[in-house]
Amino acid sequence: MKTSIRKIGGNASNIFVYALLAILGTLWVLPIFYLVYTAFRVNPSTGIINQLFPEGLKLGFGNFTRLFRDTMFSKWLVNTIIVSASSCALTTLFILMVSYALSRMRFKLRKPIMNILLVLGMFPGFMSMIAVYFILKAMGLTNSLLALVLVYSGGAALSYYICKGFFDTIPKAMEEAAILDGASQFVIFKTIILPLAKPIIVYTVLTSFISPWCDFIFVNTIISDREKYTVSLGLYKMINAERNSFNDNFTVFCAGSFVVGGIIVSLFMSMQKYYVEGITGGAVKG
């Protein structure tokens, strides 16, 4: 009797959990579905505020035509790719070098440096926004893509901990054998560590790429020239250009968001295997 009661209670509990997960999943997917639907919607005059689903389901590529024809989206997309790719390359290089040094080398101030970097990394970047702006202004670098690259890659070393944890899992015996053969630290890092660190490199590349790709705060602070906008700032300015432009440009805005999001989703899906391996490998040791 007690066993059957426990079984019924367990089934009820599972039904409740699955129902809750289904509701949460629906709430998570619904905005994405609406964005994709609106990006392909034909009638641009009906915005999200006026009516959720207009009469007649008419889809097409008109919003994408308006996006690339009537706006500078192509230029904004190129700017974003340049900034994101450059920042990603520098950030990945800095993180790998700092992580390898803190993982393999032993020196007097190693632990204090690690603690300081960890504490500084807990502060959100926008707290330094005003100071960074005045520094860039004094250097004459405001309103330039180079300034964005410097801002995004300048604090790369603060994100060392996951990559360092991955390097800690690589056996030191291979490095010791290479040292006995006369290999330097650079040769060991290049020929032994990097080939074994492919998952964490992919993880670092993805996280370093997506941050400048989606950033809005620093771009809005540093860039004022319309031709140097990134997609996040460009789409924001486009939809808020005029008082009544929200409803008129909302479908075009969704088309731009679909393109931007589609690139990131494709990138993550193609490298998902290494991304997961990088996270789990870096979480083994600290």
Q: How far apart are CA 262 and CA 255, in angstroms?
A: 10
> pLDDT digits over 102-127, tens only?
888 888 888 888 888 888 877 777 77
Closest CA to 64 of 237, 263, 259: 259
Reading the chain (286 residues) residue by residue, the pLDDT tens digits are 555 556 555 567 778 888 899 999 888 888 888 888 888 887 655 444 445 555 556 777 888 888 888 888 999 999 999 999 999 999 998 988 888 888 888 888 888 888 888 888 777 777 778 888 888 888 888 888 999 998 888 888 888 888 888 888 888 888 888 888 787 878 888 888 888 888 888 888 888 888 889 888 888 888 888 888 999 988 888 887 656 666 678 888 888 989 998 888 888 777 766 655 555 554 444 4
Q: What is the pLDDT of residue 115?
A: 84
Q: How far apart are CA 214 and CA 268, in angstroms?
A: 14
Burial 213-243 (b: 16+ CB within 10 A, else e): bebeebbbbbbeeeebbbbbbbbeebbeeee
The reported pTM is: 0.80
User: What Å distances lie between residue 273 and 202, 268, 270, CA to CA?
Assistant: 9, 9, 8
Closest CA to 205 of 168, 167, 163: 163
User: What Å distances lie between residue 285 and 35, 62, 95, 239, 252, CA to CA?
Assistant: 40, 52, 17, 46, 46
> pLDDT digits over 42-91, tens only?
765 544 444 555 555 677 788 888 888 888 899 999 999 999 999 999 99
- Class (C level, CATH) for 72-282: mainly alpha
Q: How far apart are CA 150 and CA 136, in angstroms?
A: 10
Q: What is the pLDDT of residue 178?
A: 82
